[in-house]
A and B are shown apart, each in its own frame.
Chain A
Amino acid sequence: DAGVIQSPRHEVTEMGQEVTLRCKPISGHNSLFWYRQTMMRGLELLIYFNNNVPIDDSGMPEDRFSAKMPNASFSTLKIQPSEPRDSAVYFCASRLGVSGETQYFGPGTRLLVL
């Protein structure tokens, strides 16, 4: 299995631009998570989906952030407009099950907003 696939791996953009991060979960997994990791705040859950439905988006910082999961094999996290404070590593993870089962993380997207 290829594992969780994220693209791009690195993104450098200017403040105000739209950024779209992509994730392909492991085939057959029914839960998908988006996290953000920074030195200051650690690894934070932004949103998670179960069977393509958003279950908890309480970690989404503000209206500039949106996430979609149009089908079981694809999800996007969009930031519009981007700001320098959005610079972080964004991870996608998937899981088979609904609770304490193993989450498998992708390699992350390193975002730098200038």
Chain B
Amino acid sequence: TQLLKQSPQFLSIQEGENLTVYCNSSSVFSSLQWYRQEPGEGPVLLVTVVTGGEVKKLKRLTFQFGDARKDSSLHITAAQTGDTGLYLCAGVGAGKSTFGDGTTLTVKP
């Protein structure tokens, strides 16, 4: 059973387009994290959101934590080829992280 479900699983877009990735769960987490993973490397943390309804911006990336702290979204504005990678959400609770099934993003030039 996947506690955290991401959608879409795969996304292929042209450079300059906008996109949104969703992370949904039936569980409540104390915080939620987003990671990006490039081929041959480990995941790298992008952001941690803690408060229900919280919105954080990291340059062209906007992260939102749902009011009930069960879901989150990642919006990328004007995607670039360097945004290509696997995006993972992770719910944090009881000292550990539970990862979603991932969204593979390909940004074409």
Contacts and interface: CB of A to CB of B under 8 A. Distances in A.
Contact of B42 (A50, A91, A100): A91
Contacts of B30: 99-100
Nearest to A92: B42
B95 A43 contact: no
B60 to A, nearest CB: 21
A98 B99 CA distance: 17
Given A42-B101, A45-B98, A102 B45 contact: yes
Interface stretch (A60-68, A71-79, A103-111): A103-111
B96 A33 contact: yes
Contacts of B97: 45, 103
A contact residues, range: 20 to 34
A56 interface: yes
Given A43-B88, A100-B33, A100-B50, A105 B43 contact: yes
Contacts of A108: 40-42
Nearest to B41: A107
Contacts of B98: 45
Interface of A: 4, 31, 33, 35, 42-45, 48, 50, 55-56, 91, 93, 98-100, 102-103, 105-108
Complex A-B, nearest 10 residue pairs according to Cβ-Cβ distance, in ascending order: A105-B42, A43-B99, A100-B31, A100-B92, A42-B101, A102-B45, A91-B42, A105-B43, A98-B95, A99-B95
